Amino acid sequence: MNYQKDHFPVLSIQEFSQGKSEDCTVLFHELRGERSIDEAHKHDFFIAILFEEGRGIHTIDFVEHPIAHLQLHMVFPGQVHQWKIKKETVGYQLMIEKEAFESFLPNLRFSSALYQRHPVMTLKKGAYDSLLYEFRCVQKELEKNEPFEALVKARCGIIGLLISKTAEKRFSDFDIYNSNAILSQFIGLIDKCFKEQRSVAFYAHAINISPNYLNMVCQKQLNVAASSLIQDRVLLEAKRLLKTSSMTVKEIVFSLGFYDHANFSKFFKSHTGMTPSAFKDLK
pLDDT digits (tens, 9 = 90+) for 116-142: 888 999 999 999 999 999 999 999 999
Confidence at residue 8, expressed as pLDDT on a 0 to 100 scale: 42
Burial class (CB in 10 A: 0-12, 13-18, 19+), 158: middle
Are the beta carbons of 51 and 68 closer than 8 angstroms? yes
Q: What is the pLDDT of residues 215-266, one digit of tens each?
A: 999 998 887 899 999 999 999 899 989 887 788 999 999 999 998 999 999 9
Rounded to an integer, the average pLDDT of 70-86 is 94
CA count, 13 A, side-chain hemisphere, 246: 9
What does the DSSP 8-state code read for residue 131?
A: H
Are the beta carbons of 141 and 152 closer than 8 angstroms? yes
pLDDT bin (cut points 50, 70, 90) of residue 9 is low
* CA of residue 166 relative to chain centroid, distance: 17
pLDDT bin (cut points 50, 70, 90) of residue 56 is very high
The per-residue DSSP string of 185-244 comes to HHHHHHHHHTTT---HHHHHHHHTS-HHHHHHHHHHHHSS-HHHHHHHHHHHHHHHHHHH
Confidence at residue 174, expressed as pLDDT on a 0 to 100 scale: 67
pLDDT bin (cut points 50, 70, 90) of residue 193 is very high
Largest Cα–Cα distance of the chain, in whole Å?
59
Give 255 or 106, the one with higher predicted confidence.
255
pLDDT bin (cut points 50, 70, 90) of residue 22 is low
Confidence at residue 172, expressed as pLDDT on a 0 to 100 scale: 66
Please state, in angstroms and as integers, the Cα–Cα distance from residue 259 to each residue in 234, 237, 265, following that order.
14, 17, 11
Domains of the chain, start order:
2-170 (2.60.120.280), 180-281 (1.10.10.60)
What does the DSSP 8-state code read for residue 143?
A: T
The per-residue DSSP string of 71-95 comes to EEEEE-TT-EEEEEE-TT-EEEEEE
CA geometry: angle at 55 spanning 34 and 134, to 5°?
90
Length of the chain: 283
Average pLDDT, the chain: 88
Give 5 or 97, the one with higher predicted confidence.
97
Question: Strand 56-60's sheet: what is its strand order?
Answer: 35-42, 80-85, 56-60, 63-67
pLDDT reading at 46 higher than 80: yes
Give 163 or 179, the one with higher predicted confidence.
163
Give 122 or 24, the one with higher predicted confidence.
122
Confidence at residue 88, expressed as pLDDT on a 0 to 100 scale: 92
Phi-psi region of 124 (alpha: psi -120 to 50; beta: other; left: phi over 0): beta
Confidence at residue 3, expressed as pLDDT on a 0 to 100 scale: 44
Please state, in angstroms and as integers, the Cα–Cα distance from residue 218 to each residue in 109, 110, 161, 228, following that order.
21, 17, 27, 9
Amino acid in the structure at residue 83: W
Confidence at residue 4, expressed as pLDDT on a 0 to 100 scale: 44
- Dist CA 203 CA 147 (whole Å): 44
What does the DSSP 8-state code read for residue 54?
A: -
Amino acid in the structure at residue 127: A
Are the beta carbons of 191 and 236 closer than 8 angstroms? no
